[in-house]
Amino acid sequence: MKQRTPRIGIYAGTFDPVHAGHITFALQALEAAKLDRVYFLPERQPRNKSGVEHFGHRVAMLHRALRPHPQFDVLELVDVKFSVLHTLPKLQGQFGQAQLAFLFGSDVISDLPDWPNSEQLLHGSELVIGLRNQDDESALETTIRSWPVSPVAVTSFPSYAPTVSSDQIRAALYQRKPTGGLLSSVKRYSDRHWLYISLAQRVAVTEHP
């Protein structure tokens, strides 16, 4: 009897902090794409972002948030940020013959072909895409068909929490106010370690009310 090929989801991001939108998207991806596990891959130094909380705190909040979900785990790599050239071979080496599926919000899909070596990622991988805000599935399909290299497969679905954002969560934590999408484990950890109250975070809250 032929053994089934494992299906592994890779969810790279800043997770500053992780919130209910991240968790529900990963749960949807498990079912929709028939994944065996999802690994959250926090980036140490995300591109085009400043004032990001310390990597150790972001990882600690991820571990706490994922405890209720046995099919989720945190994957820490030495790479400072996700790159196709350096990170993808490490993932392929770690997971062997598993089929890799990369989880993305629809807000980053338009830029994906512009990533360095993106064709290497698309050529052998599946994409799992959560539609955010008012993004349209037919428009998403049109965008993907226009790419010079097609992914192995694409699974897309409307997100259960399309408007929840880390900006919103940071603002609520800074202002000590409740908000939708804030995980209780994240709030407890943030309060205990006095996160998101620095001058840099105050500027972020002003820019993203």
Question: What 3 state SS string does 22-34 have?
Answer: HHHHHHHHHHHCC
Tell me the pLDDT tens digit for each residue of 185-203. Answer: 999 999 999 999 864 544 4
Residue 206: name the closest of 167, 178, 179 by CA.
167
pLDDT for 208: 39
Domains recognised in the chain with CATH numbers: 7-162 (3.40.50.620)
Q: Say what the pLDDT of residue 162 is.
A: 86
pLDDT at 203: 45
Give every residue of the chain whose pLDDT is below 70, as ranges.
Answer: 1-2, 198-209
Residue range 37-53, pLDDT digits in tens: 999 999 998 887 888 99
pLDDT confidence of residue 204: 47
